[in-house]
């Protein structure tokens, strides 16, 4: 296969461009014959839209699935997960088992969420059950923490009320769909600070599901000490961990950027809480990622020209339970510190090695099964094909939960403890 890969991008980030150039790929424009297009989410909409779309040829690859929003829009993600749970319940799967209070034992990983304005009344019913709770309002289509705010009184979201008498508000807000979720006000704190986890997950195909987890995820810390006190509800520096927000805080540090590696987190938790509970936490995190992907797999357009690298945001509460907050289709490629730059450069590098084998002109008909050596810092999170066929390949250690009942002995763990938890 002679000829160099021709690439296009509409995201001007050095971590991308450096990776293309180091492979000796050739930059072209959108209108020319390209092989690889790293596009923004707006562009992917155009490529696959009914009016402006066009067919991709066999030697063209793009970095998004056409309807990725099934996973990456906050309201659709919740909808799909709820649907998935109900389906499992209907077929009597042990995964859908519930406890005495009706909560799912294994599938309760998204905080209670409602769509507004559609579910307003349902939300009010739930809100009244625990009136001292705090809820977080998030606009469905925005990112980087934009437009998010916390409420603890119904009056604060009056304008989403269907029964609102001031109809002029309605016209403005109907365009803007929001989700409202129960705010996790008991997050695990380290050094008194709230943090969340950003993990990168690469999906090369949804059916069969094949996904990879990047070993070098990180924790994002808030610069201000966490307090659940109601007076600080407006202080976004306390509550939102997005770097885009924290960057503007007075105490933001440009050397470490308020970030910790996942390995640091692991060391800290093992040292202070013990090895078993830490292993269990990480197992659960892998579990919820795989379940979320399985939930959207049936509705996802599994176009063979596509792969996608998602940014998963997870919060851990003080009982060491992980919660899925959201999934990002376009995780930020901006680097806030030197370490960051290195991490994201390597992330793209490893992603390209898996998505575009050997750095040669791609053929989207290939089996999407890269050899182990090219994984780099990725490791296999779940491989449906392997899991279903005999699955005797223990080396890959990627098994679905269905074949083994209880939560503890399922998915592989990242890093060293693979051996111990597996055995």
Which of 183, 260, 282, 307 lies at the binding interface for another protein (CB under 8 A)?
260
Site membership for another protein, residue 375 (CB under 8 A): no
Of 22 and 254, the one with the shorter C-beta distance to another protein is 254
Classify residue 189 by burial, with Cβ atoms within 10 Å: 0-12, 13-18, 19+: middle
Question: Given the structure tokens 């499992």, which residue do they identify?
Answer: 88
Using the minimum distance from each CB to another protein, give the nearer residue, 40 or 235: 235
- Cβ-in-10-Å burial (0-12, 13-18, 19+) of 390 comes to exposed
Which tokens hold the place of 315? 């919060």
Q: Which string of DSSP letters, residue by residue, matches 347-414?
A: HHHHHHHHHSGGGSPP-TTS-----GGGGTTEEEEEEHHHHHS----TTT----STTS-SGGG-S--S
**Residue 106 has which token pair?**
């294994």
Among 121, 186, 271, 402, binds another protein (CB under 8 A): 271
Residue 113's closest CA among 142, 76, 85, 87?
76
Of 142 and 256, which CB lies nearer to another protein in the complex structure?
Answer: 256
Whether 357 contacts 366, CB under 8 Å = yes
Distance from C-alpha of 239 to C-alpha of 144, rounded to nearest angstrom: 13
Question: Which range binds another protein by CB under 8 A, 202-210, 258-266, 286-294, 396-404?
Answer: 258-266
Residue pointed to by tokens 């730059």: 341
User: Considering the rule CB under 8 A, would residue 272 count as an interface residue with another protein?
Assistant: yes
- What whole-number distance in Å separates Cα of residue 353 and Cα of residue 377? 11
Q: Is 230 in the site for another protein (CB under 8 A)?
A: no
Parallel, antiparallel, or unpaired: how do β-strands 210-214 and 189-190 relate?
unpaired
* 255 forms part of the interface with another protein (CB under 8 A): yes
Interatomic CA distance for residues 154 and 131, integer angstroms: 9
Q: Write out the binding residues for another protein, residues 285-344 only, by CB under 8 A.
A: 339
- Least Å distance between CB 255 and another protein? 5
Q: How far is the CB of 142 from another protein (least distance, A)?
A: 29
Pairing of strands 259-261, 178-182: unpaired
User: Which residues 173-212 are close enough to bind another protein by CB under 8 A?
Assistant: 190-193
Q: Which is nearer to another protein, 264 or 409 (CB)?
A: 264
Nearer to another protein, 10 or 234 (CB): 234
The least CB distance from residue 408 to another protein, in Å, is 17
Residue (374 or 418) nearer to another protein, CB? 418
Select the residue interacting with another protein from 256, 369, 393, 409 (CB under 8 A): 256
Q: Does 268 bind another protein (CB under 8 A)?
A: yes
* Cβ at position 398, least distance to another protein in Å: 16
Interface with another protein, residue 93, by CB under 8 A: no
**How far apart are CB 376 and another protein at their closest, in Å?**
16
* Site residues (CB under 8 A) for another protein, limited to 16-35: none
Residue 52 interacts with another protein (CB under 8 A)? no
Closest Cα partner for 77 from 348, 291, 255, 241?
A: 291
Q: Which of 49, 264, 334, 402 binds another protein (CB under 8 A)?
A: 264
**Percent helix, strand and coil across the chain, each rounded to 5?**
35, 20, 45
Residue 415 lies near another protein (rule: CB under 8 A): yes
For another protein, the binding residues (CB under 8 A) are 190-193, 221, 224-225, 250-251, 253, 255-256, 258-260, 263-264, 267-268, 270-272, 274-275, 339, 415-416, 418-420, 423
């Amino acid at each position: 296969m002679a000829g160099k890969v021709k690439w296009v991008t509409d995201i001007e980030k050095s971590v991308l461009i450096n990776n293309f150039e180091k492979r000796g790929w050739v930059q072209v424009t959108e209108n020319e014959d390209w092989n690889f297009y790293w596009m923004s989410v707006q562009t992917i909409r155009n490529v696959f839209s009914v009016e402006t779309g066009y067919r991709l040829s066999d030697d063209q690859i793009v970095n998004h699935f056409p309807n990725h929003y099934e996973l990456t829009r906050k309201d659709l993600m919740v909808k799909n997960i709820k649907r998935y749970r109900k389906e499992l319940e209907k077929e009597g799967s042990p995964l859908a088992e519930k406890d005495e209070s009706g909560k799912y034992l294994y599938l309760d990983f998204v905080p209670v969420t409602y769509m507004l304005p559609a579910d307003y009344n349902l939300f009010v019913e739930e809100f009244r059950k625990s009136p001292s709770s705090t809820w977080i309002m998030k606009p469905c289509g925005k990112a980087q923490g934009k437009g998010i705010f916390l409420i603890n009184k119904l009056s604060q979201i009056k304008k989403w009320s269907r029964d609102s008498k001031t109809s002029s508000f309605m016209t403005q807000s109907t365009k803007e769909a929001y989700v409202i979720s129960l705010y996790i006000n008991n997050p695990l704190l380290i050094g008194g600070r709230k943090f969340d986890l950003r993990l990168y997950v690469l999906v090369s195909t949804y059916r069969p599901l094949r996904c990879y987890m990047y070993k070098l995820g990180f924790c994002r810390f808030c610069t201000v000490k966490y307090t659940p006190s109601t007076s600080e509800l407006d202080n976004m520096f306390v509550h939102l961990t997005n770097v885009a927000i924290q960057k503007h805080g007075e105490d933001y540090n440009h050397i470490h950027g308020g970030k910790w590696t996942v390995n640091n987190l692991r060391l800290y938790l093992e040292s202070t809480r013990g090895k078993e509970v830490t292993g269990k936490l990480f197992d659960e995190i892998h579990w919820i990622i795989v379940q979320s992907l399985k939930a959207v797999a049936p509705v996802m357009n599994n176009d063979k020209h596509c792969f996608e690298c998602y940014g998963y945001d997870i919060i851990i509460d003080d009982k060491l339970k992980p919660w899925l907050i959201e999934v990002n289709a376009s995780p930020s490629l901006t680097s806030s510190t030197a370490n960051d730059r290195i991490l994201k450069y390597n992330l793209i590098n490893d992603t390209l090695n898996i998505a575009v084998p050997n750095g040669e002109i791609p053929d989207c008909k290939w089996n999407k099964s890269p050899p182990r050596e090219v994984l780099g810092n990725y490791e296999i999170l779940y491989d449906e094909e392997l899991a279903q066929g005999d699955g005797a390949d223990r080396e890959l250690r990627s098994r679905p939960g269905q074949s083994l009942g209880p939560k503890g002995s399922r998915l592989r763990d990242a890093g060293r403890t693979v051996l111990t938890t597996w055995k």
